[in-house]
């Protein structure tokens, strides 16, 4: 158990819908990262927040957005969902820019 | 740009050694290694920083050739628990947090 929690574990939804994935980092970790993992694209960095502010952006679609709240938990919002958005979404946290601890992931299925 | 890992897959018998390589076409600031078992989240193994600093597991070693923009992960006297997919993540431009991961190397250790 890494200490990072993610909810929900599984999510099944339809194309065009919007979903919110939630992540609680390890106690004391200020950085939160979001990753998307699919069979064809591998593990893709989406975005990073540090103490409430966006610090780095990767290949995140405009339909996706994220935020980190004052209590340091983070949410990833995915809208206008497409079949290709089906993937495993991981959240990770770290103290600084060091070892990242990954949560168990949310498996999103878009039908 | 995504680092290139080789080999894509390797099968070992318990006790054998393996080397997994990771190379990039861009200058690297750091290389991170993670292992992911099927159905689980990636787990941190090692960070190699420009200048030679390393942080990671005692039983796993790695090298980082900054000039050649390459890193290698050395698994010696492999155990069944070493089975999984190994990912290298590279960061550029003086920051550790925006990681670009390779497609992974599937390592299978048989009795």
Q: What is the pLDDT of residues A18-59, one digit of tens each?
A: 999 999 999 999 999 999 999 877 899 999 999 999 988 988
Which runs of E-coded beta strand occur in B4-110?
Answer: 4-6, 9-13, 18-23, 30-36, 43-49, 54-56, 60-65, 70-75, 84-91, 100-101, 105-110
Query: Could you tell me what percentage of chain A is helix, strand and coil, using 3-state DSSP and rounding each to the nearest 5?
Result: 5, 55, 45
Phi-psi region of B94 (alpha: psi -120 to 50; beta: other; left: phi over 0): left
pLDDT at B53: 65
Tokens representing A99? 């070892």
* Rounded average pLDDT over A71-96: 95
Closest CA to B80 of B6, B8, B11, B33: B11
**For residue A96, is pLDDT > 80?**
no
**Residue of B44, B95, B100 lying closest to A99 (CB–CB):** B44
- Asked if the model's pLDDT at residue B65 lies above 90, the reply is no
CB A16 within 8 A of CB A80: yes
pLDDT digits (tens, 9 = 90+) for B31-59: 999 999 998 999 999 888 876 666 666 67
Please count the other Cβ atoms lying within 10 Å of the Cβ belonging to residue B42.
Answer: 28
Interface test with B, best of A88, A100, A101, A107 (most B CBs within 10 A): A100
The pLDDT of residue B66 = 82
Q: Report the percent of chain B where pLDDT is more than 70.
A: 88
Using an 8 Å CB-CB cutoff, list residues of chain A that contact chain B. 2, 31, 33, 42-45, 48, 50, 55-58, 90, 94, 97-105
């Amino acid at each position: 158990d890494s200490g990072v929690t993610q909810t929900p574990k599984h999510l099944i939804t339809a194309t065009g819908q919007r979903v919110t994935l939630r992540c609680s980092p390890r106690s004391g970790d200020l950085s939160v990262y979001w990753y998307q993992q699919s069979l064809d694209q591998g593990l893709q960095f989406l975005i990073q927040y540090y103490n409430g502010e966006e610090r780095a952006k990767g290949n995140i679609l405009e339909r996706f957005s994220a935020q980190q709240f004052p209590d340091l938990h983070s949410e990833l919002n995915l809208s206008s969902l497409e079949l290709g958005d089906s993937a495993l979404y991981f959240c990770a946290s770290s103290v600084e820019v060091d070892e990242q601890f990954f949560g168990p992931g949310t498996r999103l299925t878009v039908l | 740009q995504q680092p290139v890992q080789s080999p894509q897959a390797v099968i070992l018998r318990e006790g054998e050694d393996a080397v997994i390589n990771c190379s990039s076409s861009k200058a690297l600031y750091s290389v991170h290694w993670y292992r992911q078992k099927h159905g689980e989240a990636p787990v941190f193994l090692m960070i190699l920083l420009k200048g030679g600093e390393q942080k990671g597991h005692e039983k796993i070693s790695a090298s980082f050739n900054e000039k050649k923009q390459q890193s290698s992960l050395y698994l010696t006297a492999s155990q069944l628990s070493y089975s999984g997919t190994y990912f290298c993540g590279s960061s550029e431009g003086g920051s550790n947090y925006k990681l670009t991961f390779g497609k992974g190397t599937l390592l299978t250790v048989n009795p």
